[in-house]
């Protein structure tokens, strides 16, 4: 007999079925709870709520495990490319050589964006944050590239367009913000090398592709490619649950990622380290501030809702960081500061007892700085990396036989019934 959970309330008992995932994770199926008992559940931040069944990414926060479609992220970071990992996430299998080549050809064929979209950039204020721009541009893509039929082939085309064009849009926004000539994608360059070339090639200084930096970017994007039901992915799924198109759903995901508690943390980490370096503040003082409940300050790049141990992505990121700085012979004082901060925090009772460890954003900004990416584009880099995950999750939700529009309930705490008061009597 399958497992159940008994709920006793007053003098009544009901039994609810238990769903068991392929890695043994157990969930109480409460779909009948309100019908049978009149109760709803209350779970701020959804920390105990499974919003869907998903076969894409597995995380074990206690053991520090992250796998895409069953494959450990460590193996993908070592052997795969971002392009191949994107294929794996979106198509649920590692591609054959023929499939990978075809995917590359499609990514190349769809890498241009409609010239009219350039005008949008010209009309936004120059100081606009690139994440706001990216979210708007991705939404606008729907007007330029509407899906003609909602079938598998058309969805695949939209997916390829998005993966390819978002990279072009991001580089384009950087060039226009600098007042520089836009650099077009090149058919002879790989996905990552093409992005770097579009960012850094200028008529007076041709960009020379550095394979070590291309590899660092590949790994950076692989590490960001998916992370199951985080804030932005849940936003993508929730918006998509209204049967909203893929572009608009991704645009919502980009908006969610922008926040400093989510993807925006990579920018916030560098700003925090820069400020400490500039003001000569000690790392001990920073840790004390993070512990002080009267101070809203939090150590950015530390802590995670799911990981209660070292984030496996942060571990790989730290290694890449050392390699890139060594290779470029850069002595970045922010890396020394980050390492000191980590050492002090990991010895501190508060951080130990709260299971607060460095997360993916702690070291990633130092790599991006070394590559030459401006700080305000760090979260855009995260967004490009997360794209395959958002797309795979959106696709999975569209095919989910248990799909329903997302519509949580609430516990109302406002005034009871009262009469309207005419304005003269207030």
Strand partners for 8 = 13
Give 81 or 364: the residue with its C-beta nearer to ligand CMC: 364
Of 344, 274, 257, 258, the residue nearest 302 (C-alpha):
344
CB of 351 to ligand CMC, least distance (A): 8
Tell me which residue of 73, 78, 101, 57 sits closest to 191, measured CA to CA. 101
Which one is catalytic: 226, 304, 326, 331? 304
Q: Which stretch binds ligand CMC (CB under 6 A): 94-102, 105-113, 147-155, 258-266?
A: 258-266
Q: Are 77 and 84 in contact (CB under 8 A)?
A: no
Minimum Å distance from CB 306 to ligand CMC? 8
Burial class of residue 148 (count of CB atoms within 10 Å of its CB; 0-12, 13-18, 19+): exposed
Q: Whole-number minimum distance, CB 385 to ligand CMC, in Å?
A: 11
Q: Which of 73, 337, 338, 356 binds ligand CMC (CB under 6 A)?
A: 356
The binder of ligand CMC chosen from 290, 338, 341, 377 (CB under 6 A)? 290
Q: Is 414 in the site for ligand CMC (CB under 6 A)?
A: no
Q: Whole-number minimum distance, CB 164 to ligand CMC, in Å? A: 24
Do 326 and 320 meet the contact criterion of CB atoms below 8 Å apart? no
Annotation marks residue 304 as catalytic? yes
3-state helix, strand, coil in the chain (%, to 5): 55, 5, 40
| Smallest distance, ligand CMC to C-beta of residue 35, A | 31
Q: By CB under 6 A, which span of 6-14, 272-280, 332-340, 358-366 interacts with ligand CMC?
A: 358-366
Residues of span 179-238 touching ligand CMC by CB under 6 A: 227, 230
Which among 73-81, 109-117, 212-220, 352-360 is the span making contact with ligand CMC, rule CB under 6 A?
Answer: 352-360
Which is nearest to 25 in space by CA: 53, 66, 64? 53
386 sits in which H/E element: helix 378-398
* Residue 19, helix vs strand vs coil: strand
DSSP state letters, 67-80: EETTEEHHHHHHH-
Between 262 and 327, CB nearer to ligand CMC: 262
Q: Which residues are catalytic?
A: 304, 361
The contact set with ligand CMC (CB under 6 A) reads 45, 227, 230, 261-263, 265, 290, 298-305, 354, 356, 359-361
């Amino acid at each position: 007999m399958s497992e159940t959970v008994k709920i006793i309330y007053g003098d009544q008992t009901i039994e609810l079925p238990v769903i068991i995932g392929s890695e043994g994770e157990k969930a109480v199926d409460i779909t009948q709870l309100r019908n049978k008992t009149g109760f709803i559940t209350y779970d701020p931040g959804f920390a105990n709520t499974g919003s869907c069944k998903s076969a894409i990414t597995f995380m074990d926060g206690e053991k520090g495990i992250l796998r895409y479609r069953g494959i450990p992220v460590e193996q993908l970071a070592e052997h795969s490319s971002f392009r191949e990992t994107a294929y794996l996430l979106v198509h649920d299998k590692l591609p054959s050589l023929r499939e990978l080549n075809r995917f590359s050809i499609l990514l190349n064929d769809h890498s241009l964006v409609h010239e009219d979209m350039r005008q949008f950039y010209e009309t936004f204020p120059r100081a606009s944050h690139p994440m706001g721009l990216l979210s708007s541009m991705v939404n606008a893509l729907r007007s330029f590239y509407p899906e003609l039929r909602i079938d598998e082939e058309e969805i695949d085309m939209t997916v390829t367009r998005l993966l390819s064009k978002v990279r072009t849009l991001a580089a384009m926004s950087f060039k226009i913000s600098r007042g520089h000539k836009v650099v077009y994608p090149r058919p002879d360059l790989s996905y990552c090398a093409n992005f770097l070339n579009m960012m850094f090639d200028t008529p007076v200084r041709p960009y020379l592709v550095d394979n070590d930096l291309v590899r660092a970017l590949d790994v950076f994007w692989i590490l960001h490619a998916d992370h199951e039901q985080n804030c932005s992915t849940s936003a993508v799924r929730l918006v998509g649950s209204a049967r909203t198109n893929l572009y608009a759903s991704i645009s919502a995901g980009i908006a969610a990622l922008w926040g400093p508690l989510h993807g925006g943390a990579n920018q916030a980490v560098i700003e925090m380290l820069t400020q400490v370096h500039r003001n000569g503040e000690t790392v001990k003082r920073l840790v004390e501030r993070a512990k002080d409940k009267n101070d809203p300050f939090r150590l950015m790049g530390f802590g995670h809702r799911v990981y209660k141990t070292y984030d496996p992505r942060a571990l790989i990121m730290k290694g890449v960081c050392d390699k890139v700085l060594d290779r470029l012979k850069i002595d970045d004082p922010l890396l020394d500061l980050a390492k000191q901060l980590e050492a002090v925090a990991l010895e501190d009772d508060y951080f130990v007892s709260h299971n607060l460890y460095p997360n993916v954003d702690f070291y990633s900004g130092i790599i991006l700085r070394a590559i030459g990416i401006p700080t305000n584009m760090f979260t855009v880099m995260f967004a490009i990396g997360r794209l395959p995950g958002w797309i795979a999750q959106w696709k999975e939700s569209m095919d989910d036989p248990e799909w329903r529009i997302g519509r949580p309930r609430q516990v109302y705490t406002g005034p009871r019934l009262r009469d309207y008061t005419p304005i003269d009597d207030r």
